[in-house]
Amino acid sequence: MTRNVAIVGGGQTSWGDRDASWKDLAQEGGKATFDAVPDIGPEDIEGLFVGAVQPERFAFQSHVAPLVAELLGIDVTEMIARTELACASGQAALRYAWLAIAAGQLDTALVLGVEKMNLGKAQMPEMQASMSNVLDREFDGVNGLSAPPFFAWYAQRHMHEHGTTREQLSQVAAKNKSNAAKTDFAQFQREIEPEDVEESPEIAPPLHLYDCSGITDGASGVIVMSEEKAREVTDTPAWITGSGQSSMAGNSINNLPSFDGWPQAREASQNAYEQAGIEDPLEEIDVAEVHDCFSISEIIEYEELGFCERGEGGQFIEDGRSHIDGDIAVNPRGGLLGCGHPLGATGVSQALEITQQFQGTVSSDRQVEDATTGLIHNLSGSASVHSVMTLGRDPQ
Which has the closest alpha carbon to 86: 32, 33, 150, 143? 150
The residue type found at 378 is N
Return the exposure string of 23-59: e unless at least 16 CB atoms fall within 10 Å of the residue's CB, then b.
Answer: bbbbbbbbbbbbebbeebeeebbbbbbbbbbbbebbb
Position 21 scores a pLDDT of: 97
Calpha distance 349→341 (Å, rounded): 10
The residue type found at 388 is V
Mean pLDDT within 208-214: 97
Which has the closest alpha carbon to 300: 137, 164, 129, 116? 164
Calpha distance 240→391 (Å, rounded): 5
- Domains of the chain by range and CATH? 5-121+216-233 (3.40.47.10), 143-213+242-391 (3.40.47.10)
Determine the angle formed by the axes of helices 295-304 and 166-180, rounding to 10 degrees: 100
pTM beyond cutoff 0.75: yes
DSSP 320-383: TTTSTTSSSEE-TT-HHHHH---HHHHHHHHHHHHHHHHHT-S-GGGPPTT--EEEEEEEETTT
Instruction: Please say if 339 is a catalytic residue.
Output: no
Answer whether residue 74 shows pLDDT above 70: yes
Q: How confident is the model at residue 145 (pLDDT cuts 50, 70, 90)?
A: confident
Mean pLDDT within 129-135: 77
Mean pLDDT within 140-146: 73
Calpha distance 172→151 (Å, rounded): 15
Active-site pick, 208, 341, 377, 386: 341
Position 250 scores a pLDDT of: 78
Q: How confident is the model at residue 239 (pLDDT cuts 50, 70, 90)?
A: very high
| Sequence-distant (≥ 6) Cβ neighbours of residue 101 within 8 angstroms | 3, 5, 47, 107, 109, 224, 225, 226
Position 1 scores a pLDDT of: 56
Contact status, residue 375 vs residue 388, Cβ threshold 8 Å = yes
Strands 5-12 and 218-226: antiparallel
For 304-324, write each residue's pLDDT tens digit.
Answer: 999 999 999 999 999 999 999
Q: How many helices and strands (H and E) does the chain possess?
A: 15, 12
Of the candidate ranges 119-128, 166-175, 191-200, the one whose mean pLDDT is the lowest: 119-128
For 287-305, write each residue's pLDDT tens digit.
Answer: 999 999 999 999 999 999 9
Active-site pick, 87, 212, 293, 308: 87
Strands 373-380 and 287-289: parallel
Instruction: Please say if 293 is a catalytic residue.
Output: no
For 52-69, write each residue's pLDDT tens digit.
Answer: 999 999 999 999 999 999
